Amino acid sequence: MTTTDLPTLYARKILQGFHRHYSVFQEVTAAARQRFADGDWHAGQYAATARISFYDIRVRETTKALAELTRLQLDEQVWLATRQLYQDYLQFHPQAELAETFYNSVFCNLFHHRYFNNAYIFVETTLSDAIPLAVETEYRSYFPVVTGMHRTLAQIMQEVDLGAPFADLSEDIRLLRKAFSEQAASQQVNAYQLRIDVLKAPFFRNKAAYVVGRIVSSQRSYPFIVPVLRDEHGHLYLDALITDVDQMAIIFGFARSYFMVQTKAPSALVRFLKDLMPKKTLAELYSAIGLHKQSKTEFYRDFLHHLAVSDDQLVAAAGIKGMVMTVFTLPSYPYVFKVIKDTFGGGKSIDRQTVIDRYRMVKRHDRAGRMADTYEFANVAIPLARIAPDLLQELQSTVAGSLSMDGEQLIISQLFVERRMTPLNIFLDYASNAEIEAAMKDYGQAIKDMLAANIFPGDMLLKNFGLTRHKRVVFYDYDEVQYLTEMNFRQLPKPQTYEQQLAAEPWYSVAPNDVFPEQLTTFAVPQPHLRSMLMKHHPELVDASYWQQQQQDIRTGVISDVFPYPEAVRFVRCVRTATEQDKR
């Protein structure tokens, strides 16, 4: 084969690998409808976990094939031509942005980071000047002036096609119209004065489906989400109408598992969602719909752009320094960056690989709205000029094994990135009494939500939790995370002798995974006034039998689900069709 044939061969190999990936990804996503209709929640959990690994599997397959062809030797002219040809292939590709990212992943697995620039990979997208895919390809429009509001809403729900019959769709529509009238009371909108745009594909996650769209009038647009649940008889019902943008943002939040939603044109779908939730970044929206690798790409491009237009320096993150991670941030950018320390403090018995595995475990798991999503990057280059001197000194003293220099760049071999939040312990120092009580109540609920998802957070110190801009408590330190079912929860033994009462150390045997809930709150919340607030709302957290019951529920197949919208917005029926488990 001549050198002139190689770019075509390489570009086609990579594009074929991407097509294989997206085909399998969409296949498992499409099956979410049937899993929802059948109430097969366990299969849904398995599919959600498995789907996350699809991308890396296809990248490894494609990398292996090209490694055999190239022998890992980079011919600069060949690869410059390969990139250009691949770019040409994507000119009218419906998933072009995803295919660019796939190309980057394969190339970066093959060659040294010195080639990670826009000449060889798509550091900057080539699609910014391309004709965008029509957003209209992703939604249908409905006109109540033609058939009336009731029939229009019935048609919408029928065409969304959730794979099962409704228990009483007419009653659901009555409740839906009533809720909209109440939520849009400031402006009376008649049926003939509006259009309804609804995304063709429903969004599936855990035990719910979500219909997403907007109501367009001459005055304004009302974004909405309608959660659809399944009752114990296999019938569907509409559970709420959410039109508050902040509440919609929580449903699409970074602490939640990824949705399953079919799309042929992801960029068009994301643009529609961005119009509904303008404060959401592209990275957050790609992540929400399960395209977490594209989310990484969008985040990194945004970070590079921010570096180019700002001049502040990276500094140590606020809060108590951790024993496992060195954490820093850019004050003008809403993220924190974490690097695993060379040696762990505080007598930590875990090793580096265990920390990595636990962060990846959370990535694959149902985060129940209480655990922050994390990006993991390799060989990240940061200009030395953008690193504050005291931070650089701290990095060199704590994570030197992860650092190397390349001219005026600091290369970090492995970097974790999370949304920046206000550490809970810092918030509680300046909050009002009402805010403190609300935060401690939500802190306890966050722990319960994680337990229901089979997560034992381990280190439950307040410093390991943060508050989002919506004042939700979210966990973000994963080095002690384990599955709840792997732990052994015990009542604290009662001392039988005077010597046992005075013993400075435990006089009873303690195995590595033994946990005594009676001691948890004292250790995690040593401040009496905070602990009393926690106990006021969550007294069961000090009872070992409560934790044991959570384990038993998980082992017997009970799937508790915490829905990401308030109880107050749920429709009130004469006879509630939701099971008690759904009401949580």
Residue 317 is labelled as binding a ligand? yes
H/E/C letters for each residue in 451-485? Answer: HHCCEECCCCCHHHEEECCCCCEEECCCCCCEEHH
Q: How far apart are CA 142 and CA 140, in angstroms?
A: 7
Whole-angstrom distance between the N-terminal and C-terminal Cα of the chain?
63
Cα separation, 441 vs 530, in Å, equals 10
User: Across-strand partners of 238?
Assistant: 228
pLDDT at 2: 62
pLDDT computed for residue 537 by the predictor: 97
Task: Outline where DSSP puts E strands in 49-174.
Answer: 139-142
What's 245's DSSP letter? H
Is 471 annotated in some ligand binding site? Answer: no
Quote the distance between the C-alpha of residue 35 and its chain's center: 21
Is the CB of residue 538 less than 8 Å from the CB of residue 445? yes
State yes or no: 345 annotated in a binding site: no
Q: Are 248 and 575 in contact (CB under 8 A)?
A: no
143 in the Ramachandran plot: left (φ > 0), alpha (ψ -120 to 50) or beta? beta
Other CB atoms within a 10 A radius of the CB of residue 210 amount to: 22
- pLDDT tens for the chain, residues 1 to 584: 666 799 999 999 999 999 999 999 999 999 999 999 999 999 999 999 999 999 999 999 999 999 999 988 989 999 999 999 999 999 999 999 999 999 999 999 999 888 999 999 999 998 877 778 889 999 999 999 999 999 999 999 999 999 999 999 999 999 999 898 887 655 566 777 889 999 999 999 999 999 999 999 888 889 999 999 999 999 999 999 999 999 999 999 999 999 999 999 999 999 999 999 999 999 999 999 999 999 999 999 999 999 999 999 999 998 889 899 999 999 999 999 999 999 998 778 889 999 999 999 999 999 989 999 999 999 999 999 999 999 999 999 999 999 999 999 999 999 999 999 999 999 999 999 999 999 999 999 999 999 999 999 998 999 999 999 999 999 999 999 999 999 999 998 887 777 777 777 776 778 889 999 998 888 999 999 999 999 999 999 999 999 999 999 999 999 876 789 998 999 987 654 444 334 33
Q: 277 labelled as ligand-binding?
A: no
- What is the reported pLDDT for 578? 44
Contacts of 515 (CB under 8 A, 6+ apart): 456, 487, 488, 489, 490, 547
3-state secondary structure of 335: strand
Q: Which residues are catalytic?
A: 373
Q: Please enumerate in sequence order all residues whose Cβ is within 8 A of that of 166, keeping only pairs 6 or more positions apart, or say none.
A: 157, 172, 235, 236, 237
Centre a 10 Å sphere on the Cβ of residue 483 and count the other Cβ atoms it contains. 14
What is residue 113's predicted lDDT score, i.e. its pLDDT? Answer: 86
Beta-carbon count within 10 A of 515 CB: 19
Q: Which two tokens stand for residue 303?
A: 């970070």
Q: Which two tokens stand for residue 258?
A: 């990824």
CA distance 483 to 511: 16
> Which stretches does DSSP call E strand in 119-166?
139-142
Determine if residue 81 is labeled as part of a ligand binding site.
no
322 is in an annotated binding site: yes
Asked whether the beta carbons of 33 and 202 are under 8 A apart, the reply is yes
pLDDT for the residue 88: 95
Residues with Cβ within 8 Å of 433's Cβ and at least 6 positions away in sequence, in order, are: none
